[in-house]
Protein backbone atom coordinates (compact mmCIF):
# COMPACT_ATOMS: atom_id res chain seq x y z
CA UNK A 1 0.00 0.00 0.00
CA UNK A 2 1.49 3.36 -0.97
CA UNK A 3 0.45 6.60 0.65
CA UNK A 4 0.69 10.29 -0.04
CA UNK A 5 0.01 12.69 2.78
CA UNK A 6 -2.96 14.16 0.86
CA UNK A 7 -4.79 10.82 1.18
CA UNK A 8 -4.56 10.72 4.97
CA UNK A 9 -6.84 12.69 7.26
CA UNK A 10 -4.80 12.90 10.46
CA UNK A 11 -7.17 12.78 13.42
CA UNK A 12 -6.07 11.63 16.83
CA UNK A 13 -7.70 10.59 20.06
CA UNK A 14 -6.47 11.06 23.61
CA UNK A 15 -4.94 8.70 26.18
CA UNK A 16 -8.17 8.81 28.20
CA UNK A 17 -10.16 7.78 25.11
CA UNK A 18 -7.77 4.88 24.44
CA UNK A 19 -8.12 3.71 28.06
CA UNK A 20 -11.92 3.61 27.67
CA UNK A 21 -12.08 2.31 24.06
CA UNK A 22 -9.93 -0.68 25.00
CA UNK A 23 -11.05 -1.04 28.65
CA UNK A 24 -7.38 -0.83 29.67
CA UNK A 25 -6.55 -1.75 33.27
CA UNK A 26 -3.47 -0.65 35.22
CA UNK A 27 -1.96 -4.06 34.46
CA UNK A 28 -2.66 -3.62 30.72
CA UNK A 29 -1.02 -0.19 30.82
CA UNK A 30 2.14 -1.74 32.28
CA UNK A 31 2.47 -4.13 29.32
CA UNK A 32 4.67 -3.65 26.26
CA UNK A 33 2.05 -2.18 23.88
CA UNK A 34 1.89 -1.68 20.11
CA UNK A 35 -0.53 1.01 18.91
CA UNK A 36 -1.17 0.16 15.27
CA UNK A 37 -2.53 3.03 13.15
CA UNK A 38 -2.08 5.49 16.02
CA UNK A 39 -1.61 8.44 13.65
CA UNK A 40 -1.59 11.74 15.60
CA UNK A 41 -3.24 10.25 18.72
CA UNK A 42 -1.64 11.26 22.03
CA UNK A 43 -1.76 7.76 23.55
CA UNK A 44 1.96 7.12 23.04
CA UNK A 45 3.03 10.59 24.28
CA UNK A 46 0.89 10.42 27.40
CA UNK A 47 1.67 6.77 28.16
CA UNK A 48 5.41 7.47 27.84
CA UNK A 49 5.09 10.37 30.28
CA UNK A 50 3.49 7.90 32.71
CA UNK A 51 6.42 5.45 32.26
CA UNK A 52 4.46 3.23 29.85
CA UNK A 53 6.16 1.20 27.10
CA UNK A 54 4.30 2.03 23.89
CA UNK A 55 5.44 1.80 20.27
CA UNK A 56 3.14 3.28 17.61
CA UNK A 57 3.23 2.38 13.93
CA UNK A 58 1.51 4.15 11.06
CA UNK A 59 2.34 4.99 7.42
CA UNK A 60 1.87 8.64 8.47
CA UNK A 61 5.22 8.48 10.30
CA UNK A 62 7.06 8.57 6.98
CA UNK A 63 6.42 12.32 7.15
CA UNK A 64 8.02 14.88 9.46
CA UNK A 65 6.20 16.83 12.16
CA UNK A 66 5.87 20.01 10.07
CA UNK A 67 4.17 18.10 7.24
CA UNK A 68 1.80 16.29 9.63
CA UNK A 69 1.00 19.55 11.45
CA UNK A 70 0.22 21.29 8.13
CA UNK A 71 -2.07 18.45 7.14
CA UNK A 72 -3.90 18.61 10.49
CA UNK A 73 -4.48 22.35 9.97
CA UNK A 74 -5.66 21.83 6.41
CA UNK A 75 -8.20 19.13 7.24
CA UNK A 76 -9.48 19.61 10.80
CA UNK A 77 -12.13 22.20 9.94
CA UNK A 78 -13.56 19.90 7.24
CA UNK A 79 -13.65 16.94 9.64
CA UNK A 80 -15.53 19.01 12.24
CA UNK A 81 -17.98 20.31 9.60
CA UNK A 82 -18.68 16.71 8.54
CA UNK A 83 -19.26 15.76 12.18
CA UNK A 84 -21.67 18.69 12.63
CA UNK A 85 -23.56 17.70 9.46
CA UNK A 86 -23.92 14.14 10.80
CA UNK A 87 -24.40 15.02 14.47
CA UNK A 88 -27.14 12.38 14.93
CA UNK A 89 -24.61 9.64 14.26
CA UNK A 90 -22.77 10.49 17.51
CA UNK A 91 -23.52 10.37 21.24
CA UNK A 92 -23.01 13.82 22.81
CA UNK A 93 -22.64 12.94 26.49
CA UNK A 94 -18.93 12.60 27.38
CA UNK A 95 -18.18 15.07 24.56
CA UNK A 96 -20.98 17.65 24.58
CA UNK A 97 -20.51 19.65 21.38
CA UNK A 98 -18.60 19.87 18.11
CA UNK A 99 -16.58 22.74 19.65
CA UNK A 100 -15.57 20.56 22.61
CA UNK A 101 -14.73 17.71 20.23
CA UNK A 102 -12.47 20.05 18.26
CA UNK A 103 -10.73 21.23 21.43
CA UNK A 104 -10.18 17.64 22.72
CA UNK A 105 -8.82 16.44 19.38
CA UNK A 106 -6.54 19.46 18.92
CA UNK A 107 -5.15 19.05 22.45
CA UNK A 108 -4.42 15.38 21.75
CA UNK A 109 -2.81 16.11 18.37
CA UNK A 110 -0.70 18.94 19.84
CA UNK A 111 0.58 16.54 22.52
CA UNK A 112 1.45 14.09 19.74
CA UNK A 113 3.26 16.77 17.69
CA UNK A 114 5.23 17.97 20.75
CA UNK A 115 6.42 14.40 21.35
CA UNK A 116 6.88 13.28 17.75
CA UNK A 117 10.50 14.22 16.93
CA UNK A 118 11.87 12.76 20.16
CA UNK A 119 9.61 9.70 19.93
CA UNK A 120 10.65 9.01 16.35
CA UNK A 121 14.34 9.28 17.32
CA UNK A 122 13.68 6.88 20.22
CA UNK A 123 11.93 4.36 17.92
CA UNK A 124 8.49 4.93 19.48
CA UNK A 125 6.94 6.13 16.18
CA UNK A 126 7.65 3.60 13.43
CA UNK A 127 6.57 4.11 9.81
CA UNK A 128 4.79 0.88 8.86
CA UNK A 129 1.52 -0.31 7.34
CA UNK A 130 -0.64 -3.35 7.87
CA UNK A 131 -0.79 -6.07 6.75
CA UNK A 132 3.03 -6.37 7.03
CA UNK A 133 4.69 -5.02 10.17
CA UNK A 134 8.47 -4.80 10.73
CA UNK A 135 8.42 -6.48 14.16
CA UNK A 136 9.55 -9.92 15.35
CA UNK A 137 6.98 -12.50 16.49
CA UNK A 138 5.53 -11.62 19.93
CA UNK A 139 7.48 -8.36 20.22
CA UNK A 140 4.54 -6.97 22.21
CA UNK A 141 2.26 -8.24 24.95
CA UNK A 142 -0.70 -6.23 23.66
CA UNK A 143 -1.58 -4.66 20.29
CA UNK A 144 -4.27 -1.97 20.02
CA UNK A 145 -5.89 -0.84 16.79
CA UNK A 146 -8.29 2.11 16.99
CA UNK A 147 -10.45 3.52 14.20
CA UNK A 148 -8.78 1.71 11.31
CA UNK A 149 -9.82 -1.95 11.03
CA UNK A 150 -13.59 -2.51 10.72
CA UNK A 151 -14.22 1.28 10.52
CA UNK A 152 -12.89 1.44 6.94
CA UNK A 153 -14.66 -1.72 5.80
CA UNK A 154 -15.60 -0.27 2.45
CA UNK A 155 -12.05 0.82 1.63
CA UNK A 156 -10.28 -2.25 3.14
CA UNK A 157 -11.64 -5.62 2.03
CA UNK A 158 -12.14 -8.91 3.88
CA UNK A 159 -8.77 -10.30 2.79
CA UNK A 160 -7.01 -7.20 4.13
CA UNK A 161 -8.82 -7.46 7.47
CA UNK A 162 -8.01 -11.15 7.87
CA UNK A 163 -4.33 -10.63 6.97
CA UNK A 164 -4.07 -7.53 9.20
CA UNK A 165 -5.63 -9.25 12.23
CA UNK A 166 -3.37 -12.30 11.73
CA UNK A 167 -0.34 -9.99 11.53
CA UNK A 168 -1.29 -8.24 14.78
CA UNK A 169 -1.63 -11.68 16.41
CA UNK A 170 1.84 -12.59 15.13
CA UNK A 171 3.53 -9.57 16.71
CA UNK A 172 1.54 -9.47 19.98
CA UNK A 173 0.26 -11.97 22.54
CA UNK A 174 -3.11 -10.24 22.74
CA UNK A 175 -4.96 -7.92 20.33
CA UNK A 176 -7.83 -5.44 20.82
CA UNK A 177 -9.60 -3.72 17.91
CA UNK A 178 -12.11 -0.84 18.29
CA UNK A 179 -14.76 -0.15 17.02
CA UNK A 180 -16.67 -2.99 15.30
CA UNK A 181 -18.72 -0.50 13.26
CA UNK A 182 -17.91 0.79 9.81
CA UNK A 183 -18.28 4.44 8.82
CA UNK A 184 -21.96 3.92 7.95
CA UNK A 185 -22.65 3.04 11.62
CA UNK A 186 -23.38 -0.65 10.94
CA UNK A 187 -21.52 -3.71 12.28
CA UNK A 188 -18.67 -4.38 9.86
CA UNK A 189 -19.24 -7.49 7.74
CA UNK A 190 -15.56 -8.36 8.33
CA UNK A 191 -16.02 -8.96 12.08
CA UNK A 192 -17.35 -12.49 11.46
CA UNK A 193 -14.82 -13.14 8.70
CA UNK A 194 -11.93 -12.29 11.03
CA UNK A 195 -13.42 -14.40 13.82
CA UNK A 196 -13.94 -17.38 11.47
CA UNK A 197 -10.33 -17.14 10.33
CA UNK A 198 -8.68 -16.78 13.75
CA UNK A 199 -10.68 -19.30 15.81
CA UNK A 200 -9.39 -22.44 14.00
CA UNK A 201 -5.86 -21.05 14.41
CA UNK A 202 -6.20 -21.54 18.18
CA UNK A 203 -7.16 -17.98 19.07
CA UNK A 204 -10.05 -17.00 21.31
CA UNK A 205 -12.06 -14.13 19.84
CA UNK A 206 -14.61 -12.28 21.96
CA UNK A 207 -16.66 -9.16 21.35
CA UNK A 208 -16.73 -7.07 24.52
CA UNK A 209 -18.63 -3.96 25.59
CA UNK A 210 -16.37 -1.10 26.70
CA UNK A 211 -17.02 2.13 28.65
CA UNK A 212 -16.75 4.35 25.54
CA UNK A 213 -19.30 5.34 22.92
CA UNK A 214 -19.00 8.33 20.61
CA UNK A 215 -20.04 6.91 17.23
CA UNK A 216 -23.62 5.88 18.08
CA UNK A 217 -23.71 2.14 18.82
CA UNK A 218 -19.88 1.91 18.78
CA UNK A 219 -19.19 0.57 22.26
CA UNK A 220 -17.66 -2.83 21.55
CA UNK A 221 -14.15 -4.07 20.82
CA UNK A 222 -12.81 -7.32 19.40
CA UNK A 223 -10.56 -9.01 21.98
CA UNK A 224 -8.23 -11.73 20.66
CA UNK A 225 -6.25 -13.97 23.03
CA UNK A 226 -4.31 -17.21 22.82
CA UNK A 227 -6.06 -20.28 24.16
Return residues touching ligand SAM (CB under 6 A).
1, 8, 11-13, 36-39, 41, 58-60, 129-130, 146-148
CA distances from 120 to 63, 76, 123, 133, 147 (A): 11, 23, 5, 16, 22
Q: Please give the full DSSP string across 142-188, using - where no structure is assigned.
A: EEEEESSTTTTTTTS-HHHHHHHHHHHHHHEEEEEEE--B-TTSSBP
To ligand SAM, the closest distance from the beta carbon of 134 in angstroms equals 12
Residue nearest to ligand SAM (CB): 39
CB of 27 to ligand SAM, least distance (A): 22
In angstroms, what is the minimal distance from the CB of 63 to ligand SAM?
A: 10
Question: Quick one: 71 or 199, whose CB is closer to ligand SAM?
Answer: 71
Residue nearer to ligand SAM on the CB measure, 151 or 204 = 151
Following DSSP, what letter does each residue of 165-178 receive, concatenated?
Answer: HHHHHHHEEEEEEE
Spatial separation of the C-alpha atoms in residues 204 and 47, rounded to whole Å: 27
Which CB atom, from 69 or from 146, has the smaller least distance to ligand SAM? 146
21 near 27, Cβ under 8 Å?
A: no
E strands present in the chain: 32-36, 53-57, 125-126, 140-146, 172-178, 203-209, 220-226
Q: Closer to ligand SAM at the Cβ: 12 or 218? A: 12
Nearer to ligand SAM, 13 or 197 (CB): 13
Task: Quote the strand ranges of 7-163, DSSP E.
Answer: 32-36, 53-57, 125-126, 140-146
Min dist CB 227 to ligand SAM, Å, is 27
Complex with ligand SAM: residue 130 or 203, whichever CB lies closer: 130
Residues listed for the chain: 227
Q: Give least dist CB 126 to ligand SAM, A.
A: 10
Amino acid sequence: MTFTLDEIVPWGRSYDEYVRMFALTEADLGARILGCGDGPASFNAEATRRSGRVVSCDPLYRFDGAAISGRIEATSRHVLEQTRANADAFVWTAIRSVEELGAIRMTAMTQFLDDYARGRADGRYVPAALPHLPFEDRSFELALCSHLLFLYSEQLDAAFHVAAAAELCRVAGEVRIFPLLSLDGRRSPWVERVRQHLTPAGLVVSLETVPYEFQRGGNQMMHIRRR
